[in-house]
Structure 1
């Protein structure tokens, strides 16, 4: 992966536990990459870890803006950023990737966010508005005073605060009760919330292929395969035995081949590889259902093989 060293140009406390971070090149030089709404970037932090965060800004803003929630059970990413990031500091940023883009077309778009799940959906909302595409954004927050990243120009957003789970389900039922032609739903937030959005939409007749979501954490922790297989890395000409309880990536590393990796949880898509031969057993959250069904792709950091042999383009 190529990295770009960006400078911290602004820090804002968007909410009590949400830090807004503006990253740019010195002198307002043009960024060496672009992105589409819903994209995320890798940050390589000073403590050695790599973490992924959704990009809130649009390319025309000329900078990368992130909203980073300090997680109580931080694995070393959000906590480090909240405690150590300073104005003027440099941080390495990977090229944007987008596994959550708004699908092309002119059909109505409904965006449903909870908490920090607003980060990928807010740029989608603004981009749809600029394109003249029908769009609405439903934003659920625990606290009416804690609405990070919203500005006066976002006055049209429908926001709900302090609702309990049954009330959220009732509200979603009302807002998703009918579907216009070619309409789609995109949601992001805690896993239970996203499950509620999907179940509610399906119950009201929305087709599954019109529903999209993005995870910040795996919905279910990936369980390593109980039996092994043979992994063939075609481009490197390497063949290695994957032991029971070992990931494909771990086996490749043991054989001296470093596959690309970032989150290591099957979320970010950095490790996705093409399958040449074999039957993948998917345990990721980044591939679409169509990609999984095709059998042509695999996220080797968490996924495995149902058969005895798997050949990937690596």
Structure 2
């Protein structure tokens, strides 16, 4: 097995991802230099992915790279920020050879081009354990316009982008067969697990983009990574309110809806499995038409699926208004 050395790896594979951006300094120094004049507020986030935890060891390397970048882009979307630059830390296991790394960087290159920003630096090291990749991402938003989890207000609507449950169901498909699942549904769910769709354009519209705080549509926002119900509880806690979610209005893909209809026990997984990377946000009722227009303008499904009420926590209600209890309301990072 052949794998080039650290500096050759940087020069031949990672340096081209800067796309000639002078702020990267050719990846030849200890850090990148970014001016903030005209950028507004600088938004910084970091997420790491570990083999066997956040992706499967035999997942295609290009999709691993895409997921690593996209979960960070989802954080930018949740803040209503525009991505500016990324920094990659790669801990490489002995099993990853040049061919694997070339496919990984090609996946990263394609997504950086799609989302119009660059890799400006990072670090590589070897590990005897499972491979892991961490991206630090920088974004910009107008001064004071960044979306927070703590802004939900009594009487606000609760909205979600896209469909929920596909990522968790995609992992279930990869871990073992779900009998009777059409191939087109199988591939849809796997793709949603491997390559989330960060709602960057929608997030920019919810925050007002480059406008001041007064131009934003949403009062609170976060991305769904730990499961819809668990992350709704995070918004509720941060905002000191309660969130009601209406089960009949949950937006499900055709694949997810068919699976739940055949096996209702999968409903818990749809709500608590995580890996959706959709936006969960609150907004006043007077912004409904503008939010629907934002969804249409960004080619993103947006669904009003609940409301902000008095109390604490988050709960999901059936068609009769009775709370539905879940065995596992969300993903835990405790081990």
The TM-score, its normalising length taken from structure 1, stands at 0.27
Q: With CA pairs under 8 Å and 6+ residues apart, which has the higher RCO, 1 or 2?
A: 2
The structure richer in helix per residue is 2
Task: Judging by fraction of residues, say which structure has more strand.
Answer: 1
TM-score (norm 2): 0.26
